Amino acid sequence: MKKILITGGAGFIGSHVVRLFVNKYPDSQIFNLDKLTYAGNLENLKDVEHKPNYKFVKGDITDATFINNLFNQEKFDSVIHLAAESHVDRSISNPLEFVQTNVIGTVNLLNAAKEIWKDNLANHLFYHVSTDEVYGTLGEEGLFTEETSYDPHSPYSASKAASDHFVRAYFDTYKLPVVISNCSNNYGPNHFPEKLIPLCIHNIKNNKPLPIYGKGENVRDWLFVEDHASAIDVIFHNAKLGSTYNIGGHNEWTNIDVIRLLCKIMDKKLGRAEGKNEKLITFVKDRAGHDLRYAIDSTKLQNELGWKPSLQFEEGLEKTVDWYLANEEWLSHVTSGNYQTYYDKQYVQR
């Protein structure tokens, strides 16, 4: 059985990747390594936790001794690395935590993989999952390609850029078999309600203000999370070693337009008068160093590996709203903090 380590599998995107791999590859052993920070929620994986090819390991990627021991013990065939601190606003308040997890944590994993694979680099892969934010910001025109120079502006994107550089350096220096993908903004089920879309779904439901930074003119390129997971699957199995792929939805929206659309969808779903939810929109102080526009050119991935997104944004957003409305318990556990007791109940006391 091939052993695949997925880091950060209890988080938003990681949980979708874990589910896809556990269900699609029953002959592979899928390990989910996660520290269970505030962003890690094992309730995301209830439907796969009892599958025989799934194993959860609680641990911290910044702990080099722990990581080396784990790799020595399990001798993973490949790694898909998603564990990270991921929220720009938190990176502005606490940059060092982002350096620890996103840079040091990544280098710890690279070192551990290099050590166990050193005598036979063939048939292994270290897949590093990254963001389009490393490229900085676009003006009105243009798209990020794989050749765009790095120009990160937030502590989050600076830490992800640094981790990408380390991954490439291990390919060049040690011939470690690596691949990197840089994806645009994801949305969908299990998204922690500190990010724009789930925060606003939660606030609309509870008739609370919808905080829009600045004038709401910043543009993001939104991709449904399951489409990101399917791109990761395609890249993991087919990518050329040492290469980079941009993943995006060709789906640019200003923040204010996203929230207006969300308000409209939720007017209908909640049986409220048309235009009622829009009244909750509140313009607040802008984010420091707020990137104006992200937009991805994913031609390379589409042409070389044949991947394309499956969902239109309107359809994906409606699906997302339906999920949040049908999963009130998930949302209330997350907002009350109860989800953090799930691990103790599920994995320790039994």
How many residues sit in the footprint of ligand NAD (CB under 6 A)?
Answer: 31
Q: How many residues does the chain have?
A: 350
**Among 43, 60, 85, 133, which one carries the catalytic annotation?**
133
* Helix (DSSP H) and strand (DSSP E) numbers for the chain: 13, 13
**Among 54, 127, 135, 156, which one carries the catalytic annotation?**
156
Give the count of beta carbons closer than 10 Å to the beta carbon of residue 276.
14
Contact between 161 and ligand TYD (CB under 6 A)? no
Contact between 57 and ligand TYD (CB under 6 A)? no
Figure out which of the listed residues 42, 83, 212, 232 binds ligand NAD, where binding follows CB under 6 A.
Answer: 83
Alpha helix (H) ranges present in 270-312? Answer: 299-305
- Element housing 225 (H / E): helix 225-238
Residue type present at position 339: Y
The interface with ligand TYD within residues 235-274 (CB under 6 A) comprises: 255
Contact between 193 and ligand TYD (CB under 6 A)? no
> CB-wise, 174 or 192, nearer to ligand NAD?
192
Figure out which of the listed residues 38, 192, 213, 323 binds ligand TYD, where binding follows CB under 6 A.
Answer: 213
Are the CB atoms for 296 and 247 separated by under 8 Å?
yes
User: Catalytic annotation on 146?
Assistant: no
Per-residue three-class SS string for 131-189: EHHHHCCCCCCCCECCCCCCCCCCHHHHHHHHHHHHHHHHHHHHCCCEEEEEECCEECC
Q: Which phi and psi angles does 31 have, rounded to 5°? A: -100, 130
Contact between 223 and ligand TYD (CB under 6 A)? no
Q: Which phi and psi angles does 19 have, rounded to 5°? A: -55, -50
**Quick one: DSSP state of residue 339?**
G
Contact between 32 and ligand NAD (CB under 6 A)? no
**Quick one: DSSP state of residue 123?**
T
Which of ligand NAD, ligand TYD, none does 82 bind, CB closer than 5 to 8 A by kind? ligand NAD
The interface with ligand NAD within residues 38-57 (CB under 6 A) comprises: 39-40
The least distance separating ligand NAD from the CB of residue 280, rounded to whole angstroms, comes to: 23
Active site residues: 132-133, 156
Which parts of this chain interact with ligand TYD (CB under 6 A)? Answer: 88, 185, 195-196, 199, 211-213, 218, 220, 255, 287
Which parts of this chain interact with ligand NAD (CB under 6 A)? Answer: 7-8, 10-14, 34-37, 39-40, 60-62, 82-86, 101, 105, 129-131, 160, 183, 185-186, 192
